[in-house]
Structures are given as C-alpha cells and as structure tokens.
Amino acid sequence: MRKIVIAGNWKMYKTQAESLEFLQGFMSHLEETPQEREVVIAAPFTDLSILSKNLHNNRVLLSAQNIHWEQEGAYTGEISGSMLTEIGVRYVIVGHSERRQYFGETDETVNRRLKAAQRCGLTPILCVGESKEQRENGETESLIVTQLKKGLVDVDQQNLVIAYEPIWAIGTGDTCDSPEANRVIGLIRSQLNNPHVSIQYGGSVKPNNIDEIMAQPEIDGALVGGASLEPESFARIVNYK
C-alpha cells in the first residue's frame, strides 16, 4: 500500500511564536482529515522542539529540512540525525533543489544524507526535478534517472518518500500540468525496486489545484511550500476532495 503523505515545507519562514500561532489555527481543521492521510510539517530547526512539545498526538508529524551525514563531530552549523529523533522528528527533506542550487548539494552528498537519515530511523523525503532549461532541452527524463540512480545507492527503499519537484514550478505559480506530473512520477516509480514508495508532487501546489493533482493515479501526496504557511490554506490542501 502506498501511503498518502502531504507535507508542508516552511523553508526559512516562521519564528517559534509564529509556528505556535500556526498550530492554533491549523489543528481544528484536521478533525475532518481522513486518518490514513499523513500530515507532515517541515519546519526550521529552531521551531522543531517547541512544535514537538505542542503536538500531543501523532496527527501531525514533524520533518527537518536537512541532516548531516555524520553522527557528530566538528561540523559547524550542521545538525545530526540523533539531534532530530531525540525531539520527536520523523521525516527529513533531503536534496531539495534550493539546497542543490545554493548550498552545493550534489547527488553524492544527497546519498550520504539519505543513508544517515535511515540509520537513525528517520524517513527521508528525497527531492528530484529538472530546471526549465533542462526541460526545454529534453533532458528531464535522463536527469531524473541520474538523480535517482546516484542518490539511491545503498538506500533502503522500504523507508523512503520521493518528491518530484520541477524547479520551474517552485514558487512561480506555474504548476506542472497534472497529467505531466503523473507521467514523470510514473517514470520515477519505474526506476525503483519497491512498488510501495510514496511519491509526492511539489511545485506551486495550492488549494485550487490540489484536488486535480491528487486525482492522478501515480501521485501519492504533495510537498507544499508557500501554501503551507497559512493554516486555512494548508488545511484545505490536506483536506483535498
């Protein structure tokens, strides 16, 4: 069975006070959310601990946005897996295009982070996706196959979520057409050795397009940026029809 996983990626937004304010507005909407949908919030490191203390049941699971591959050491500015699991974090986003673009993330470092996450029991959400230029040059398929092949070396596909996030659709309002997202996600699935891996779509997911996206047979969830920052908007997304 493929799980439905709807995750909000808050990126570098929300102080602790703002994150608690979000919870106040958000939690009541979950009463109508079907139990089998997993709802995840990927918050900044500084918010995770206080969110964890204020989430008394497991209705919302927490995710980090990055993880270092070593268990501990002289790595100024980094966070290890055990620091995350100790405060109740369950997921971690790995290889987001913003980390690949601005912070030198490569398929090799992505692979190391994925394995580190799994070693300490976190479920990694591996992000893959092409730029506008790569799409226009007809490189979408080969790029994604390479990202998967290199990223997933020795990675356990029993404990993994993948997000297809075309870079040109992120933060632009220019959503990838649902049938096209469905097609690429089908291609991603064909590269895996476990048919039960959940594969999300990400890139300008909004309350007004989530129903159509989730109606696609290959799409098992969403990774939502901007529209996850407001309680009503993220609630409408997790409660898609």
DSSP secondary structure string, 4-31? EEEEEE-TT---HHHHHHHHHHHGGGGG
Closest CA to 220 of 177, 166, 161, 176: 161
Q: How far is the CB of 75 from ligand 13P (least distance, A)?
A: 24
Residue 138 labeled ligand binder: no
Looking at the Cβ atoms of 82 and 90, the one nearer to ligand 13P is 90
- Give the one residue of 19, 203, 214, 237 binding ligand 13P; rule: CB under 6 A: 203
Catalytic residue among 68, 96, 98, 105: 96
Between strands 60-64 and 198-202, the pairing is: unpaired
Looking at the Cβ atoms of 170 and 197, the one nearer to ligand 13P is 170
Is 51 a binding residue for ligand 13P by CB under 6 A? The answer is no
Under a CB-based contact definition with an 8 Å cutoff, are residues 62 and 90 in contact?
yes
* 18 part of the active site: no
In the region spanning residues 138 to 177, those forming contacts with ligand 13P, defined by CB under 6 A, are: 165, 170-171
The Cβ of residue 1 has, within 10 Å, a number of other Cβ atoms equal to 6
Closest CA to 160 of 122, 130, 131: 122
- Give the one residue of 81, 95, 166, 202 binding ligand 13P; rule: CB under 6 A: 202
Residue 10 labeled ligand binder: yes
Q: How far is the CB of 223 from ligand 13P (least distance, A)?
A: 4
Place of tokens 């994604």: 144
* 180 part of the active site: no
- 3-class SS string, 116-160: HHHHCCCEEEEEECCCHHHHHCCCHHHHHHHHHHHHCCCCCCCCC
In the region spanning residues 95 to 124, those forming contacts with ligand 13P, defined by CB under 6 A, are: 96
Q: Which residues are catalytic?
A: 96, 165
Binding site for ligand 13P (CB under 6 A): 9, 96, 165, 170-171, 202-205, 223-227
